[in-house]
Amino acid sequence: MKILVINGPNLNMLGIREPDIYGRQTYQDLIDLVKSAADRLGAEAAFFQSNHEGDLVDAIQEAYGCFDGIVINPAAYTHTSVALLDALKAVGIPTVEVHISDVREREDFRQISYVRSACIGTVMGEGFDGYVKAMEMLIEHGKRRNEA
């Protein structure tokens, strides 16, 4: 199974950015963790990060026909982007939404997720491990689809 892990704006600043909320580990640490989990799970993970909404839309579109699953942390665009929702719906690739922090416990403006309705599930508040859980959900989903 080929999984594309997409991270939105400011997630390249992990480790520096609000460590009380996001921890002290870096974006590279996240990649290393997800890569080794993917190996263990027998999946293949590729990574894309951008601070630009249109580039994220392009990455989702380019995943069509190339990836079996998407793990996406759209970061702030979660709460604003109809374009990301439409892109995920357009490609129809099974997708899991991830948030490092528990957005349910945060500001009101973080309570809306535009992408959620295009996702098979959401993981939040589990730190970097949430990305691993999201991959496991995609693998399970893939197995169920193959059995059906």
Both tokens assigned to 52: 């630009």
How far apart CA 93 and CA 12 sit, in angstroms, is: 24
Q: Is 52 a catalytic residue?
A: no
**Residue found under tokens 């604003």:** 80
Active-site residue, selected from the candidate residues 52, 64, 77, 99: 99
How far apart CA 139 and CA 123 sit, in angstroms, is: 15
Q: How far is the CB of 143 from ligand DQA (least distance, A)?
A: 27
How far apart CA 8 and CA 78 sit, in angstroms, is: 9
User: Per CB under 6 A, does 35 bind ligand DQA?
Assistant: no
User: Per CB under 6 A, does 73 bind ligand DQA?
Assistant: yes
User: Per CB under 6 A, does 123 bind ligand DQA?
Assistant: no
**Within 10 Å of residue 21's Cβ, how many Cβ atoms?**
10
User: Per CB under 6 A, does 100 bind ligand DQA?
Assistant: yes
Q: How far is the CB of 10 from ligand DQA (least distance, A)?
A: 5
3-state secondary structure of 9: coil
Q: Where on the chain is the footprint of ligand DQA (CB under 6 A)?
A: 10, 73, 75-76, 78, 99-101, 103, 110
Residues annotated as catalytic (active site), given as ranges: 22, 99
